[in-house]
Chain A
Amino acid sequence: MDRLNNERGFMLLNVIFLTLITSFAAMILMNALPRVKNPQSVLRLTAIHLANEQLAMIESKAAEGELNLNYLGKPEDLTTENFSENIPITFNVTSTDKPNGNLHDVTVKVEWTVDGRENFIELERTIRVVPKE
């Protein structure tokens, strides 16, 4: 104890340097965290526009008098290579309907799988079926 008393300066310096290093490491890790958390934003965006397409097709069919819940968009739009390193991602589109007279609450669900993880989005729109004359 008595001999360490002479080395107060070095010990103080160690404390300062170690704190600096630790805080730098923490800053770097905190910077990397949101990148790890949100890896699939582009596929999500593609899925939103795919759901929009399906809703538009259902609307156009509904204006002619029938509600068709099958996939009505272009089949090639179901596959995308956006940011997926040449591995095509396939989307699965399903539509469900809650009728309320002429008005139908149509929910379109788009599902896709990346690295064994399943993701989905759901979009809803109220669509009026125009009765046939």
Chain B
Amino acid sequence: MFRKNSGGFVFAEFAIALPLLILLGCGLATVSLKLFDVGKNQLADYVLEEEVHDVLSRIIYDARAARKVTAIKGSPTLTFNYRMIGASSGSNLTTNEDIRVYWRVNDKIYYEHQTYIARNPITGNNYFGETKVTKFEFEKVNKVLHVTLELESEITHHKIKISTAVYMPSYEN
């Protein structure tokens, strides 16, 4: 079967190198599957982190300029009122009201502008990791708004809970 002058090289090639190659290949496949799994979980966690941070920083920046805040605890709704200066007609400036609403409906937080219809979700709906809101609480003490937000990832079932506070300098009692 083997040629005389090959000196066992071909035999060695198939008997040693091929099984080694298969073993190495299996090992690499296992490791890469594990890594894909870790990567999937980590992406879901990044999404979770990013969403809680996004909602909280939006609330912080909106609250700092707000003239009035209405907090409803039943179906958690946070409404910020602003006084906007519109285009001048003649010599006098017109002022009008602007409203921004953070609203928790079921598992999502909606961010609405000038309306109370939940249309624009700012959490959930992410391809890399579905999340749901498990807690959205707020409390206003004088001119400080305390916000607590807890989100849970549907993929890793990790929970992240962050509390923060905003001082509202232009709040009118």
Contact = CB atoms under 8 A, between A and B. Distances in A.
A17 interface: yes
Contacts of A31: 35, 39
Interface in A18-43: 21, 24-25, 28, 31-32, 35, 41-42
Contacts of B13: 7, 10, 14
Contacts, number: 90
A35 B42 contact: yes
A11 B4 CA distance: 19
Interface residues of A, number: 35
A4 B6 CA distance: 8
Nearest to B42: A35
Contacts of A28: 28, 31-32, 35
Contact of A21 (B10, B24, B162): B24
B60 interface: yes
The size bracket of the interface on B is 35 or more
A63 to B, nearest CB: 7
Nearest to B146: A74
Given A10-B10, A17-B21, A57 B144 contact: yes
Interface of B: 3, 5-7, 9-10, 13, 17, 21, 24-25, 28, 31-32, 35, 38-39, 42, 45, 49, 52-53, 56, 60, 142-144, 146, 158-167, 169
B165 A63 contact: no
Give chain A's interface secondary structure class: helix
B31 A52 contact: no
Nearest to B13: A10
B56 A49 contact: yes
6 contacts: A21-B28, A45-B49, A53-B163, A56-B167, A60-B143, A74-B163
Given A7-B6, A21-B28, A28-B28, A59 B167 contact: yes
